[in-house]
Amino acid sequence: MDNLFQRLKTSCADDWQAYTGHDFVRQLASGTLPEAAFRHYLGQDYLFLIHFARAYALAAYKTADLDEMREAIAAVDNILNTEMALHIEYCQGWGLDEAAMAALPEAKATMAYTRYVLEAGMAGDSLDLYVALSPCVIGYGEIGAALAADPNTKMSGNPYATWIEMYASADYLDVVAGAKAKLDRLAAQRLTPARFDALARTFRQATLLEADFWQMGLSQAS
């Protein structure tokens, strides 16, 4: 039987393809993405990470299972003290410093997806929350791996090659595997046949909002 993530992805295959094969992604692969689009995306991604830390803090609140709570708190710590530092370092290479990014107004697409994730967690349980997070956490790994494996992806001389390499790296793909396993553990405890359709709707909406996040970058540069 397919794991829960695969079932969710299959349930909205066209929307998933529109997200993972978005023009923003294709232009990353070809190296033709306007720099203004990428810088706008990077700045909003900084704000995005702040809310993702809040989402994992909510995941800790939503469970009484100590192991699950420890995992969620470890994720908060990793986002705040490792991922954000790495993101800031990467952004400095694009002329963005932390103070400037922290002062940015949130784009509508940033607000839409991050608040949707938090609302899914507040209204439901941790399975709802992790399903809403999965198009980002797992989707970026699928995108990175697909681009790295595609012979048509330009790596030499591509200013976005390091972004592709980051999400295609063994370290990030370990994160992806862990996120898929987490969904399956939660599904074993909480998923019923009647509940799948609601989770699929959450997953589809999160996928659409992720595609909107790519479009936000492109629209900024148009």
Which has the closest alpha carbon to 44: 107, 103, 135, 108?
Answer: 107
Residue 221 has pLDDT above 70, yes or no: no
Average pLDDT, the chain: 95
How far CA 51 is from CA of 73, 113, 161, in Å, comes to 14, 10, 26
Helices 23-30 + 35-61 axis angle, to 10: 120
The whole-number pLDDT of residue 220 equals 79
| Average pLDDT of the residues in 129-139 | 97
222: confidence class by pLDDT, cuts 50, 70, 90? low
Question: What structural domains does the chain harbor?
Answer: 34-221 (1.20.910.10)
How far CA 18 is from CA of 13, 14, 75, 204, 207, in Å, comes to 9, 6, 28, 11, 9
pLDDT digits (tens, 9 = 90+) for 55-83: 999 999 999 899 999 999 999 999 999 99
pLDDT digits (tens, 9 = 90+) for 1-51: 579 999 999 999 999 999 999 999 999 999 999 999 999 999 999 999 999
